[in-house]
Amino acid sequence: MSRAAEKQVNIIGAGLAGALLAVLLARRGLAVTLYERRPDPRQARPERGRSINLALAARGIHALERAGVMQRVRPLMIAMRGRMVHERSGASALQPYGQREHEVIYSVGRADLNRVLIDEALRHPNVTVRFNQQCTGVDARLNQLRLRDAASGAQYGLELAPAIATDGAGSAVRASLAADGLATVREQWLDHDYKELTVPPVAGRPALEAHALHIWPRGGFMLIALPNTDASFTATLFLARAGAQGFACLDGGAAVERFFAEQFPDAVPLLPHLVEEFAQHPQGQLGTVHTAPWHLEGKVLLLGDAAHAIVPFHGQGMNAAFEDCRVLDELLDRHQDWGTLFAELERARRPNTEAIAQMALENYIEMRDTVLDARFVRLKGLAMALERRFPEHFIPRYSMVMFHPEITYAEAQRRGAVQAQLLDELDPGEGTGPDLSRAEQLIRERLPPIGC
């Protein structure tokens, strides 16, 4: 057994990444203690203010499979085969995500998934979860993790090494490393916020097509909706914080009703509690976090959102966090000490999380603006035709990110840029088909077979 595997590991934050990581480490026989700020989510109601459901895709599934938890996760998943685009006129059309039966993404409830993962972690006798324990930072000089018990308010310290911080986008561990000059952190806040609303079932049945991710793109902003297992949908409005068409103007029930009636008339009947929910539900912020380094010797490692929070428009934040956990688990086969392991993990992952951070920002423009564009739809069709014809060379970028965990995010971004240029050159225009022999020549010149 490696030296790493002989040790006790502290994980800060029993959210999605922390709980999955605990399962993976416990399966290796490590002794794991999770410290979680919230009460046990298996007993308490989930806290509001985070997305209620999420899109789970192949990278996340691959990590969940490695942890042996898919049997319990599968019943939580609802397949979404494509984007159902709702125009202002009320017309809607499905744009499939992929072109093979398995090329779908899944809506999954955050709270249910988190409960299952914590439950699975606790099936291992070598895992302990300490709820209501808030980490307030690390003290590298004293080699201490600082914690506070929520019930008594008592503060205490624990030996640091090794601590893996999966305490999310607002990570206290990251903040304390930055405050001590041990990490450089750049937070880029979007000037758009989000608010979640409920589309309840109608007579017990989903009010919208259940196997799709619904989008009402309006250029500059959008409403989306993902299905839940109780036949409801969670709708999310993404909108500028300020300006004439921003949250700041929606300052009362009448303004909210007017805005929805103008922009999303077909969604209004689906949102019977619009005004109350708009007033009560929090307005969430969105941003990208860039951190370097992610680790401090073999003592501390930042993972998941704590290291690299991203905007949600590619549906990849959780998937990337799960992929971090899988890669860490794989590295444990090869590395003997935490210092090397943490450094290797950052080396392997940071270029990839930087790539998905950028692609996620680009996808906001695609979702809210370009999905309605005739040229976008035409090039998407062309990309799928090229994938069918040259599957070893050409896979649409969206598919590489969502359905191909064997292709890294950085590789998907790099090939995606070459492909975008190629599609531009091959665009047949309205009403004509592509020149496939030219396509073949360009593809062979510029796109080596995937994996070579």
Ligand X SMILES: Cc1cc2nc3c(=O)[nH]c(=O)nc-3n(C[C@H](O)[C@H](O)[C@H](O)COP(=O)(O)OP(=O)(O)OC[C@H]3O[C@@H](n4cnc5c(N)ncnc54)[C@H](O)[C@@H]3O)c2cc1C
**DSSP one-letter code for 246:** B
- Choose the binding region for ligand X from 50-58, 74-82, 254-262, 388-396 (rule: CB under 6 A): 50-58
Q: Which residue has the tokens 């005004």?
A: 275
Residue 17 touches ligand X, criterion: CB under 6 A: yes
Sheet holding 78-80, edge to edge: 53-56, 105-109, 78-80
Among 162, 217, 304, 405, binds ligand X (CB under 6 A): 304
Total residues binding ligand X (CB under 6 A): 32
Contact 83, 148 (CB under 8 A): no
Contact 18, 11 (CB under 8 A): yes
The distance of closest approach from Cβ of residue 304 to ligand X in the complex, given in angstroms and rounded to an integer, is: 2
Q: How many CA atoms lie within 13 A of 304 on its CB side?
A: 27
Q: What share of the chain is helix, strand, coil (3-state, %, to 5)?
A: 40, 25, 35
Strand duo 92-96 + 233-240: pairing: unpaired
Residues 428-447 that bind ligand X (CB under 6 A): none
Residues 327-346 that bind ligand X (CB under 6 A): none
- Choose the binding region for ligand X from 138-146, 245-253, 309-317, 443-451 (rule: CB under 6 A): 309-317
Q: Phi, psi (5° rounding) for residue 304?
A: 65, -150
The distance of closest approach from Cβ of residue 408 to ligand X in the complex, given in angstroms and rounded to an integer, is: 16
Q: Which x/- pattern, by CB under 6 A, does the window 97-136 give for ligand X?
A: -------------------------------------xx-
Residue 301 touches ligand X, criterion: CB under 6 A: no
Residue 176 touches ligand X, criterion: CB under 6 A: no
Let me know if 246 is exposed, middle or buried by CB neighbors in 10 A (0-12, 13-18, 19+).
Answer: middle
Residue 321 touches ligand X, criterion: CB under 6 A: yes
- Choose the binding region for ligand X from 69-77, 96-104, 316-324, 408-416 (rule: CB under 6 A): 316-324
Tallying the residues shown for the chain, one arrives at 452
Which residue's CB is nearer to ligand X, number 135 or number 443? 135
Among 4, 9, 11, 13, binds ligand X (CB under 6 A): 13
**DSSP one-letter code for 449:** P
Cα–Cα dist 290/300, whole Å: 17
Distance of CA 20 to CAs 67, 303, 451, Å? Answer: 7, 12, 28
Residue nearest to ligand X (CB): 15
Which residue's CB is nearer to ligand X, number 198 or number 316? 316
Residue 305 touches ligand X, criterion: CB under 6 A: yes
Residue 405 touches ligand X, criterion: CB under 6 A: no
The distance of closest approach from Cβ of residue 227 to ligand X in the complex, given in angstroms and rounded to an integer, is: 12
Strand duo 53-56 + 144-149: pairing: unpaired
| Helix or strand holding residue 439 (H, E) | helix 436-446
Give residue 350's identity as a one-letter amino acid code.
R
Among 27, 38, 88, 211, binds ligand X (CB under 6 A): 38
Contacts with ligand X by CB under 6 A lie at 12-18, 35-38, 51, 54-55, 134-135, 166-168, 172, 194, 284, 304-306, 312, 315-319, 321
